[in-house]
Chain A
Amino acid sequence: MANVSVAAEWQLLYNRYYRKPEIYQMRWKHVDLSRNKVACASFGGPIAVIRDDSKIVQLYAESALRKLRIFNSAGVLLSETVWKHPGGRLIGMSWSDDQTLISIVQDGTIYRYNIHAELIQPNVTMGKECFEQNVVECVFWGNGVVCLTEGGQLFCISDFKTMKPYKLADVPGLTEDDMLQPSCLAVREPQYTMSGNVEVLVAVGDEIYVVDEDEAQSIRFDEPGGEDSEMGNDDYGGSLIGPVQKMIVSPNGKFLTLFTHDGRIVVVGMESKQIAIDYSCESALPPQQMAWCGMDSVLLYWDEDLMMVGPLGDPVHYFYDEPVILIPECDGVRILSNTSLEFLQRVPDSTESIFKIGSTSPAALLYDALDHFDRRSAKADENLRLIRSSLSEAVESCIDAAGHEFDVTRQRALLRAASYGQAFSSNFQRDRVQETCRTLRVLNAVRDPDIGIPLSIQQYKLLTPVVLISRLINAHSHLLALRISEYLGMNKEVVIMHWACAKITASPSTPDTHLLEILLDKLQLCRGISYAAVATHADNCGRRKLAAMLVEHEPRSTKQVPLLLSIGEEDTALVKATESGDTDLVYLVIFHIWQKRPPLEFFAMIQGRVLARDLFVAYARCHKQEFLKDFFLSTGQIHEVAFLLWKESWDMGKNPMASKGSPLHGPRIKLIEKASNLFSQTKEHTFESKAAEEHAKLLRIQHELEASTKQAIFVDSSINDTIRTCIVLRNNRAAAKVKSEFKVSDKRWYWLKTFALATIKDWEALEKFSKERRPPTGFRPFVEACIDADEKAEALKYIPKLSDLVERGEAYARIGMAKEAADAAAQANDGGELLERFRKTFSQNAIFDTLKMPFQGA
């Protein structure tokens, strides 16, 4: 059967099968891993190669200058650059999670490269101590690094985004007095530790210390309780492991693998401190590399020998006649050699159930059935009938196994088996096949050697499509990224945006208009894309004109306006902000210009723009009055200045410091007079000018009155009130003086005086006043003043003198003389309207009283 050949390639480690398919034949030429320092990114990322300056190597036909070369996982050269940094030997090099190559040299300087071998500025350093003491070793994890100095101190950067180095606690025995050398280091990533901070494991002598920022604690491990391991060596009295030559932490941070001085491999739990595996190797020589393969086994690599140790059973050996590098992944290990890249992983359960020799699982039978079906053998039907009950399970297995395959023919065969089975199965989630097909298409596309990202399905799910796409665009595979995001129904904005920015960077010599056309063509593919962001990039690339053209297309004014400001297009910014109707944006522009330009220029700019001007005035009124005066003066709005001065005079009056009768009245009056003068300069404001003049005069008179009466009750009252106060104080001369001074009309005078006299209840004077001459207002003021003061008898003196009968009737009604009111109303010639109204008012109040009655008891 065809299946046999598949399983023949598997190795058995105790009861688990492992397989090691070759993914790529490396495309590179003349790369010898043993001569180089190599950094391989996880998740099928790029490979950085640079000649190892700690080794003496023979140069062939090559330059003596060292070159940093970056390849994809298939060995296709992506970029290269000459390495000529000072700072001593290159100590460590690794890819961070966002695919930045971090390289640390002896003096602690960190050089960062992107995937295009471009140096990312600025260079960072691990700190002064590293510079003085030299870095001897560093251990990386996805997003950080720990460095060991010659002086035995540890420094850490726990986040490559912030690049802030800090010192970890001193390790006992590593201080300068003891001069011990640590035998090895390992790092537990922050995401797996209790504290959330990174923990460094340092083996010094017999001890292993866990070091963090605050302290270094030694840890001890126990042998498995009671169980006397065959492989165990009891020389150290059980709990002691002794000096450790090499150690690594498992991918989930829960286990620690140690290679001891006597050639034992020990796996211990970090929390439980229990020993899970203890196995003696033939050699006490430490392996060159050690790696976890998923969570199930540990790989050790010596020259030509790769050994895999599991919890139980004999280890598996693979032999290589060339150097290899182990690249741990979440679900296995990639093995890179000079000529090929292989992926070592545990055979997935579904695959095993189908291809294991002699397997009779439903999935295996289904796969077999398809084979028969293709050969038109009736046995296909027989097979199907056998597995009828577990058909959906079989289909599921086939789909799953297909997902795990790197080989496209086998993917296809498995998927065909799945869909064949699906046809006979009624209760199966049909979109599972589709979904896997979709995922596989994406995976196959990125696995193509030219792209060279050999992701397994598990890695892909862990990485997420979003990150995959961002990696693709980082590597400038925009078209593929676009197709994938389209295919997966994701937002294309990220891709197009990145493309546009990269395009601008990459075409410094293309003319603006031409480049704009190219960009717009693609930007229009995506609705709601931020033109402003692209424009910002163009501006940063020194293409201000292009930026201006691009920002024109930005529909969101909130993004457009700030950008226009930053590229110096203030006029356009003001226009756009005004058009948007968003006053906040207009303010943004105003403040920007205000800050940058001299006042006169600023005034000229906003004077012509109504909204900007009005908003500025509103703001300045509240906060910058002096500046506002300057504005009005420079733009010839004299009357506005006058209003401001006038307002100031009131503010001054409100000021508690300006107590009554103090010399502050002088300045107040001056301000008002100045305002009056300013008003008089324009034709339109003669009224205001006169009013201000009168106001000044009034203040002066009030001032004098306060001085003469020694009562601070005049200032800031109106002319009417001043007169009234005079009358109330029985100072008729003063009242008459104010009256004539301001030419108070007779009508107003009569109303004023009658009410004032009524207030002080001087009925005699009131009567005298009424008889002085025939009042120009009629007798109404007298009647109303008396009624208001609730003096019926006084009111009756004047009511009969009212000439209007309706008025007279109403007046009677108001003092409750219904009969007289009715008489007057009857005489009035208005068709009984008044009479009707009286009836209503008199009855209405009675209604409510009767209404409320019944509810009082309820």
Chain B
Amino acid sequence: MAQIPNLENAPLNLKSIREKSQRELVNLLKDIRGTKCLVIDPKLSGSVSLIIQTSTLKELGLELRHLSEEPVQTECTKVVYLVRSQLSFMRHIASHIHNDISKAIQRDYYVFFVPRRSVACEKILEQEKVHNLVTVKEFPLYMVPLDEDVISFELDLSEKDCLVDGDVSSLWHVAKAIHELEFSFGVIPKVRAKGKGSVRVADILNRMQVEEPVNTNDVGRPEVDTLILLDREVDMVTPMCTQLTYEGLLNEFLHISNGAVEVDSSVMGSQQEGKKMKVPLNSSDKLFKETRDLNFEVVVQVLRQKATTMKEDYTEINSTQTVSELKDFVKKLNSLPEMTRHIHLAQHLTTFTSKQSFLSQLDMEQTLVEAESYDICFEYIEELIHKQEPLTKVLRLLVLFSITNSGLPKKQFDYIRTELLHSYGFEHVVALNNLEKAGLLKKQEFKSNWQTVKRTLKLIVEDTDTSRPVDIAYVYSGYAPLSIRLVQQAIHSGWRPIEDILKLLPGPHLETKRSGFPSSPSVDSLHGASNGVADGRRSVILVVFIGGVTFAEISALRFLASKEGMAYDLIIATTKIVNGAALIETFMDKQG
């Protein structure tokens, strides 16, 4: 199965978007004659692998390398750098070129910026005196479809950049990407945003429509009905909790990156010891599509049930006689590889989930979210530090603790920080400072309003039946993610009924209607008559998470979309798929 997802059943034609990016990249590379060495920044190479196969790239006469500080080892006289516009990469490129010059190697250099050239990056090239040696071009890759209903803008550092450094470049990028979507699918008429970044994106999006209008006559009736924008900052509680869906857990323990996990081949039942193998995870895998969004407990049951049926079929086969029965059986056998794959993965996961420490961590998360037993939580975290559990794990709980209590009292705040620095080293002062700047770990200044939010939005759902869920809370076994509760509200009733609650959460909110290019009113009314389910396709709601979204949240949204009485398909777009650990790590500058 390929790592590049099959996008046949996407509610929007995401395939065309992917194909466009593919074409653009191939054309850029074809423009340079002859053999060349493509040096790609490692993170970007992951994104690129989701739009084009490596083999296709190699057919273009490319040698592939990853960008690092080390000089590029190649015979090619043409070196193409494919990089995101990050300042640090420019240094590498400059040092490579200087290295070649010192060795009197003559080469042609090309720098392809993704998604566009940047003044700051070129400034560095200028100051390093290599700007006149390179040909600069752009590869406008603003988004990558991860699956039928998920788009990623591939902005790993968005949350940290915005909250800590005040670098809001990612907001422009997000707006630009949405605007690109509008060029294909029409101007989105309704916008609902919550959070500083989201409101800003809505604003930039409107500006873009003025500057470079999407002509409604070209694209026809908008396929996307509503745009919901949500800042991660609004809900930092959810990502700090451990996701309990199948896909979520896979991500927590095995790190799904670019739609695949890498595991020891022994895990997958292969004989070769010590070798790593990649297991693609997307909806082209029927069984995964069926189970990814379920609570992991249920996945085990489902797998057992399927296996049992299969076993029965297998024993029956000895008694079957007719060809058609055999055919049926063979058809069933086709799902066998999928079955084995997921049984292996699930078993591997249980080795983590059955650990005592994991269970107590889950208990603690629940306690933290309920936010009613302060001392127990504090002592638990203190002990984690004393045991020197991994720092990300500690910080994750600590952040959860700080948010639900709107900070720690000064004395304990200082105490915990001292214990952290003593235990893990003083270099982590930067991480602490970053978290403080971002408001994730701070001194208590006023009373927490988490209780109100929790109660009003019914975030804690008792008696969750994970096998027959009626509420999104099943994805965290009893905690309904705040972010998705907000989306739920935005879909059903807009912001008005919950304005009081919104005011308790960080950032402003906004609800507007937009129109495309002023077209003749008669055309509008014509379309108005056929609103809703016009051509058998449901209207689409685009939910954008600025700062990242977790798999569990995506599962919750899919659950909403599949519920009866839901008139919309949902497409989720995010700066990056994240989990608590990944988010925390972005705040931990590599300083030490």
Contacts and interface: CB of A to CB of B under 8 A. Distances in A.
Interface of A: 528, 555-558, 579-584, 587-588, 591, 610-611, 613-615, 617-619, 622-623, 643, 646-647, 650, 687-688, 691-692, 694-695, 698, 716-721, 742, 744-745, 747-748, 751-752, 755, 777, 784, 810, 813-814, 837, 840-841, 844-845, 847-848, 851-852, 854-855, 858
Contacts of B171: 581
Nearest to A585: B119
User: Which residue of A583, A695, A744, A814 has the most chain B CB atoms within 10 A of its CB atom?
Assistant: A583
B514 interface: no
A44 B171 CA distance: 55
Contacts of B461: none
Contacts of A855: 307, 310, 336, 339-340
A650 B424 contact: no
B298 to A, nearest CB: 14
Given A581-B203, A844-B354, A858 B336 contact: yes
B257 interface: no
B317 to A, nearest CB: 10
B422 interface: yes
B300 A619 contact: no
Nearest to A614: B166
A373 B455 CA distance: 92
Interface string B526-541: 0000000000000000
B425 A622 contact: no
Nearest to A748: B386
Contacts of A851: 303-304, 307, 343
Contact of B167 (A528, A555, A583, A751): A583
B211 interface: yes
Contact of B430 (A583, A643, A687, A814): A643
The dominant DSSP class at the A interface is helix
A751 to B, nearest CB: 4
Contacts of B207: 557, 579-581
A745 B383 CA distance: 12
B325 interface: no
Nearest to B379: A747
Given A814-B356, A851-B303, A858-B336, A650 B116 contact: no
Interface in B365-379: none
A847 B300 CA distance: 9
B262 to A, nearest CB: 21
Nearest to B353: A844
B422 A719 contact: yes
A691 B429 contact: yes
Nearest to A696: B426
Contacts of A814: 356
B422 A854 contact: no
B289 interface: no
Contact of B418 (A558, A691, A777): A691
Nearest to A554: B211
A851 B166 CA distance: 52
- The 5 A-B residue pairs whose C-beta atoms are closest, nearest first, are A614-B166, A718-B425, A581-B204, A848-B347, A751-B386
Contacts of A719: 421-423
B477 to A, nearest CB: 14
Contacts of A698: 426
Interface residues of B, number: 67
A584 B210 CA distance: 19
Given A844-B350, A855-B307, 19 more contacts: A555-B211, A558-B211, A581-B171, A582-B204, A591-B120, A615-B167, A618-B165, A623-B87, A695-B426, A716-B425, A718-B423, A744-B422, A810-B356, A841-B354, A845-B350, A848-B347, A848-B350, A852-B269, A854-B310
A841 B382 CA distance: 28
Contacts of B591: 647, 650
Given A581-B200, A647-B430, A650-B591, A717 B343 contact: no
A716 B592 contact: yes
A584 B336 contact: no
29 contacts: A528-B213, A558-B211, A579-B207, A581-B168, A584-B120, A584-B169, A587-B123, A611-B168, A614-B165, A614-B167, A615-B120, A619-B120, A622-B88, A647-B591, A650-B427, A718-B425, A747-B382, A747-B383, A748-B385, A748-B423, A751-B386, A752-B386, A777-B383, A837-B359, A844-B300, A844-B350, A845-B354, A851-B303, A851-B343
Interface string B496-540: 000000000000000000000000000000000000000000000
B166 A610 contact: yes
Nearest to B386: A751
Contact of B592 (A591, A618, A623, A650): A650
Interface in B2-19: none
A623 B124 contact: yes
Given A583-B168, A587-B120, A618-B167, A854 B426 contact: no
A852 B343 contact: yes
Contacts of B304: 847, 851
Interface in B190-237: 200, 203-204, 207, 210-213
A777 B382 CA distance: 11
B21 to A, nearest CB: 21
Contacts of B116: 584
Contacts of B354: 840-841, 844-845
Given A610-B166, A611-B168, A742-B422, A591 B119 contact: yes
B421 A587 contact: no
Contacts of A840: 354
A813 B354 CA distance: 12
A687 B334 CA distance: 63
A589 to B, nearest CB: 9
B123 A591 contact: yes
A845 B385 CA distance: 31
A716 B211 CA distance: 54
Contact of B314 (A720, A742, A854): A854
A688 B167 contact: no
A691 B166 CA distance: 26
Contacts of B211: 555-558
B87 A622 contact: yes
B172 A582 contact: yes
Nearest to B204: A581
B417 interface: yes
A434 B339 CA distance: 69
B387 interface: yes
Contact of A854 (B119, B307, B346): B307
A810 B426 CA distance: 35
A718 B426 contact: yes
B178 interface: no
B433 interface: yes
User: Which residue of A582, A588, A698, A717 has the most chain B CB atoms within 10 A of its CB atom?
Assistant: A582
B75 interface: no
A493 B481 CA distance: 52
Contacts of A583: 167-169, 172
B354 to A, nearest CB: 5
Contact of B165 (A587, A617, A688): A617
A755 B127 CA distance: 52
Contacts of B467: none
Nearest to B592: A650
B333 interface: yes
A742 to B, nearest CB: 6
B409 to A, nearest CB: 14
Nearest to B428: A718
A588 B172 contact: no
B108 interface: no
A4 B127 CA distance: 81
Interface in B242-280: 269
A848 B424 contact: no
A848 B333 CA distance: 19
Contacts of A611: 166, 168
A110 B123 CA distance: 41
Nearest to A610: B166
Contact of A555 (B118, B200, B210, B426): B210
